[in-house]
Amino acid sequence: MKSAILLFLVILIIAGCKPLVNKMAFHPDTKKVFSTDQLPENVQEIFIETKDHVKIHSYFILDEASEKILIYFHGNAGNICQRLPDLMQLNSLGTNVFGVSYRGYGKSQGKPNEKGIYLDGKAALNYVIQKLGFAENNIIILGRSIGSTVAIHITQNKNINGLILVSPLTNGKEQAKVSGLGFISFLSGKSFDNIGKIINISCPILIIHGTQDEVIPFEMGKMLFDKAKSKKQFVGIESAGHNDLSTKYQESYWTAISEFIKN
């Protein structure tokens, strides 16, 4: 009788693992957003539609002198509005910029989940190519933290100009372990499998990781770097954590990205 109850509980857990994984992975903010009239003059607000008909909020910042565009995928908390300073800084480095808020984040429709954010990423890439008119080989994709999973997923087998990964994780199971959830890490299955997908990247790769990252260990960035097969560069920023790379350690961080964009 006890074994039957235990089996039933295991089945219930496994059946509900996807909602649980989503609950742990995503922390969207739908309140701290900018109205259109609050945006700087050079920032254009755009809503794009995904394959499954979800409207996604994004920002486009033009650089008429550049043929390149960088697509930016943020971390698991907040929304794209809160990354506007980073988008504007990227634009100042001499590239067009397109920043995306995942489904359920900011002004975007829907609820976040792994499959969904990959659809969001593909919609952004398609929009940049088909609507904005950028050539695939002039597109740079940047993914930070959980955004690295979107960046890697949509860059697979593409003729992209370059891929930038900031504080990337290896996969969901290992991330659950380092987050103190090792006892239920099996629920993650093959979620967010960066380590398995990075071998399918053929473009140049830049990985940036703080040596004292308290959320996604520095070693994860190194593991991805070692696994990658294309031309690659690793920048370890001494003493940097997970959330202070672009601020407290801005000189090292922005210099590495600037040089990569210009190559």
Tell me whether residue 262 is exposed, middle or buried, using C-beta atoms within 10 angstroms of its C-beta: 0 to 12, 13 to 18, 19 or more: exposed
Q: Which residues contact 126 (CB under 8 A, 6 or more apart)?
A: none
The conformation of residue 94, written as its DSSP 8-state character, comes to T
SS3 152: helix
Dist CA 40 CA 21 (whole Å) = 36
The answer to whether the beta carbons of residues 50 and 100 sit under 8 Å apart is no
Q: Which residues contact 64 (CB under 8 A, 6 or more apart)?
A: none
**145 annotated active-site:** yes
Could you tell me the CA-to-CA distances from 60 to 8, 100, 165, 204, 248 in Å, in that order? 50, 9, 20, 24, 26
C-beta atoms surrounding 166 within 10 Å: 30
The conformation of residue 91, written as its DSSP 8-state character, comes to H
Q: Which of 101, 145, 167, 188 is catalytic?
A: 145
Q: Which of 63, 120, 193, 213 is catalytic?
A: 213
**52 annotated active-site:** no
Q: Which of 58, 86, 242, 246 is catalytic?
A: 242
b/e per residue, 227-247, with b = 16+ CB within 10 A?
bbeeebbbbbbeebbbbbbbe
Could you tell me the CA-to-CA distances from 139 to 86, 88, 103, 126 in Å, in that order? 18, 17, 22, 11
Active site residues: 145, 213, 242
